[in-house]
Amino acid sequence: MIDTHCHLNSAEYTPIFNDIVNEIKTNNIEKVIVPSINWESIKEIQYLSKKYDFIYSAYGIHPEECKDDTVTTIENGLEPLLKNGNMLGEVGLDYHNIFAPIKKQKEIFEVQLSLAEKHQVPIIIHSREAFNDTMSILSNFKHKNIVFHCFSYGVEEARKVLDRGYYISFTGIITFKKADIVRDVVDYLPVDRIMAETDGPYLAPVPFRGRLNHPLYVKYVIEKIAEIKNIPFNEMDSILTRNWEKFAL
């Protein structure tokens, strides 16, 4: 199993971090991809990825964290990391929590995409209540190794993402009682465009909703995807693993 998106560097994990590491090692969790959101988290993730071989890093500045950044700070800070083949993420637009002006979000998103395309590294997208602008900006780039993480849009939006050749990743939201719109997207997508994630420490799946989310719970996301697609769990897990490996090339 692969958890394609979990913020393992978050302070919520500190008291039980060693326990989580042991559980990951003994419960068939092959990889955990840990994306940054700001400069401090980049340093934390660099440390973790060097210490633990199952942790894979992605570096980028989240739209909620970019208000004090400029094109120059982004280029100077991220280019050395992406130049070495690290993934870009998570980056994008967030119009739900507008902690940075929309104009600033777009500017920082675009410069990060330019760096990723220049160095041909995979991109992890955060897009919340900003689908049209996200897709409009992405249309300026030819890069295809892109995943929309924690997808919360509907089938119409998913069709447009699919038409671009991108991937879509799902969290424990697909196990929530009122998440029919997102489950419809899972049903609609071909299996070779799907990924699974926890987005821990948040969005723990049923039956753990409301608790601290962590990589072991990706099993329940995969189970729900397998149920919707009517595919045995082990086969679904293998498909999702291949999807990640193709994306991460």
pLDDT digits (tens, 9 = 90+) for 129-148: 999 999 999 999 998 899 99
pLDDT digits (tens, 9 = 90+) for 199-216: 999 999 999 999 999 999
pTM: 0.97
pLDDT at residue number 181:
97
pLDDT at residue number 133:
98
- Name the residue with tokens 């590491």: 21
CB count in 10 Å sphere of residue 39: 15
Alpha-carbon distance values, 81 to 42, 53, 86, 139, 146 (Å): 10, 18, 6, 24, 18
- Count up the domains in the chain and report the number: 1
141: containing domain: 2-248
Average pLDDT, the chain: 97
Q: Is 192 exposed, middle or buried (0-12, 13-18, 19+ CB in 10 A)?
A: exposed
pLDDT at residue number 97:
87
Enter the tokens of residue 238: 């293998």
Enter the tokens of residue 117: 């395309």
CATH of the domain at 127: 3.20.20.140
Q: Is pLDDT at 249 greater than 90 in this prediction?
A: no
**Quick one: average pLDDT of 176-197?**
98
pLDDT at residue number 232:
98
pLDDT digits (tens, 9 = 90+) for 34-67: 999 999 999 999 999 999 999 999 999 999 999 9
- Residue 125 Ramachandran class (φ > 0 left, ψ -120 to 50 alpha, else beta): beta
